[in-house]
Amino acid sequence: MNNKQYSLGIVGVRGYVGKELLALISAHPQIKTEWLSSRQLEGQLASAALERADDKDLDFIIESLSPEQVADKNTDIIVLALPNGLAESFVQAIEKNKGQTKIIIDLSADYRFADSEGNNSWLYSVPELDEKALVEAKNGELIKISNPGCYATAMQLALAPIIQLLEGPAHCFGVSGYSGAGTTPSPNNDPENLKDNLIGYKLLEHLHEKEVGERLKAPVSFSPHVAAFFRGINMTVQVELTEPQTDIALLNRYNDFYQHHPLVNCQPTIPVIKQVTNTANCLIGGFAVSSDGKRATIISCLDNLLKGAASQALQNINIALELEPLMAVQPLATGEQE
């Protein structure tokens, strides 16, 4: 671990995830936000625009920066919190600049398949499953991290302990809060449309289905839905098993697998979203096994904006910088002073 201080900038802070990450960074003792970029919020005082009036570290004006201007900032950590398809020009400018930037972390899906496409310079990391690659990242070189998707995180954490036991594809039924649909107005994030409703979307070949299949090297069938609550994911996973199991045996297997990972907790009872809302935790439970022991159902719950995005990004940054992995990863409790 080290005691160095680091600067950070975020491109795309207007979105939900950018705001969540900003709140976490404000409590980090070794990372300070130096600048923020947003076309929609350009010219506004950061503390006012982001409703953080008491945060003195945000007493500066939000800019709308080009890729070259972002690179010229020479910030230690650059977070790209942009919609899919917009990261490449910023990455290219930062690489060309060859400045002091130590980490680029992309929160979109743009580089989640980079290694399978022959670009091995990107590190994909669910920390509980991929930490080794970040630990071994070469100090002094630009580290490029692709942050996992929220649904994909819930599925991978639910499936990783039993990947060797799977017989055929895992069937995953996911329900997300409407914050997962982003800030651009649509039927999938319209509270009135969602009232007393459950909406399925992209029911075949969803990007997160491909993401999990490639990462776990196992077939996955994924059906996403959005509901009327704002944040959180409930992922119900059904699997066929190569050998009989009991619910107790599965619970013990998961506890053993995650015993050194305090953010992933397992329980025999069915988890619910309220248990993980506004936390960096993933809760796995509800282990149910058929009478022949060959079919099982498991439920994974997490906060899509935190463990599914912002807090996971901070975990990855901490590990890559050789800081305490969970430093400032959990959001402050309501009323707690920063």
Q: Which residues are catalytic?
A: 150
- Calculate the alpha carbon distances from 94 to 70, 80, 285 in Å: 7, 12, 42
The beta strand positions in the chain, using DSSP E, are 6-11, 31-37, 77-80, 103-106, 122-124, 143-146, 170-176, 198-200, 220-227, 233-240, 264-267, 282-289, 295-302
CB 289 within 8 Å of CB 245: yes
Contacts of 208 (CB under 8 A, 6+ apart): 149, 151, 152, 155, 222, 224
Helix, strand and coil percent figures for the chain, each rounded to 5: 30, 25, 45
What's CA 51's distance to the chain center, in Å? 23
* Structure-derived torsion over alpha carbons of residues 304, 306, 308, 312, reported in degrees to the nearest 10: 180
C-alpha 337: how far from chain center:
25
